[in-house]
Amino acid sequence: MIGGGPGAWILAALIAAGPITSWAAEAAEPTVAKLVATCDRALTRGNRGPEAAACEWYALPCACKLRRPDPASDPWCIPTGEAPAATIATVVEGLRPYPNQSAPVGPAVAETLARIYPCPGEVP
């Protein structure tokens, strides 16, 4: 049994998880193909559960994400009033023909959103 309080338990969990490189790599952004597959599975399960949450997190960028320092400068303009589920479905369909299915999903989603939802005066 490990003693020493919560810090010891955290350390034990990290050691059990294996080398940092292995679990840190798994925490990286999914590929385009993995996101499309995840969203497809979520859809067949009624868009509930962790896969639906992951699909929404990656396919529908929001200002709540810490990695987006200036969401006001996003080169896409989703129509006011469009339901999030509709936007997600549109993005997933836009990702299906994406030329590099092994690309990280973040830039691919941004490109797809800018192409499908250009802002007034913006050239996609």
Q: For residue 18, tell me if it sits in a domain.
A: no
Q: For residue 27, tell me if it sits in a domain.
A: no
Q: Give the total number of structural domains in the chain.
A: 1
Q: Are 32 and 102 in contact (CB under 8 A)?
A: yes
- What's the pLDDT tens digit per position in 77-93? 888 899 999 999 999 99
CA dist 105 and 59 (Å) reads 8
Q: For residue 14, tell me if it sits in a domain.
A: no
Residues in the chain, total: 124
Token digits of residue 12: 């034990």
- What's the pLDDT tens digit per position in 13-50? 444 444 444 334 445 789 999 999 999 999 999 999 99
CA dist 12 and 20 (Å) reads 13
Percent above pLDDT 90 for the chain: 55
CA dist 4 and 26 (Å) reads 29
pLDDT confidence of residue 64: 54
Give mean pLDDT, residues 66-85.
Answer: 75
To the question of pTM greater than 0.75 for the whole model, the response is no
CA dist 28 and 26 (Å) reads 5
User: Which ranges in 27-118 belong to alpha helices (H)?
Assistant: 32-44, 50-59, 84-95, 105-116
Q: Which domain holds residue 46?
A: 32-116
